[in-house]
Amino acid sequence: MAPTFSPLDASSYRHPDRNGPYESLREATILAMLEQGIEYNSLSENPVSWADDQDPFGHVKAQAHMNYVGISFIRLLESFEGHLKDEFPRFMSGRGIGPMTNQCLMKIKRVVKYPDLTWIVFYHHKEQRLVDLAEEGGVYQSLHASLTERAAESRRALKAWEEKQAQKADSNTAKL
């Protein structure tokens, strides 16, 4: 059985010190995500709010998940600043080329397997069309190259992690 903590300890993630009983679990979770190819700089931690995020039965509500997605999406977009430089404020305000999403698929019944079905589409608001960043040139071409490399690195890390998990499963099966 999992250890129990006082309510104050259990909500320690809200304290500025954050060194509560879940610190070791948080660190282990982050290490596991990094092994799977998820970028540290784009991580977003979204603690469940007891009052806002749960229904009367203690289940996290669907709209809370969408809030987490929104927070995480903005954090991902903020990671583009280094490539967009002076164009970044226009990008974030939807002037010219900017991010948009028209669909979010969410499967709450299982743990999301990175990268699951995450789509990022770039849209040119002024011209009312989707944008091919590689053809756009300038800072957008640099952003496209960076995103392509980031995705490739994540896929490589995830593949290595999955192979490691398969080896662990094989060795556990052999022991039975």
User: What is the rounded average pLDDT for all residues in the chain?
Assistant: 75
State pTM to two decimals.
0.64
pLDDT band at 113 (very low <50, low <70, confident <90, very high): very low
pLDDT above 80 (res 147): yes
pLDDT above 90 (res 160): yes
Say how many C-beta atoms besides its own lie within 10 A of residue 118's C-beta: 14
Which residues fall within 8 angstroms of residue 158, CB to CB, at 6 or more apart? 36, 37, 114, 115
Q: Which residues make beta-bridge pairs with 99?
A: 122
Query: How does pLDDT run across 27-65, given as a tens digit for each residue?
Result: 888 898 888 888 887 777 777 777 787 777 777 777 877
Which residues fall within 8 angstroms of residue 72, CB to CB, at 6 or more apart? 44, 46
Contacts 24+ apart (CB under 8 A), 152-155: 153/37, 154/37, 154/38, 154/39, 154/114, 154/115, 155/37
Query: 82, 88, 115, 120: which is closest to 104 by C-alpha?
Result: 120
**Highest mean pLDDT pick, 42-56, 73-87, 115-129:** 73-87
Query: How does pLDDT run across 22-36, given as a tens digit for each residue?
Result: 677 778 888 988 888
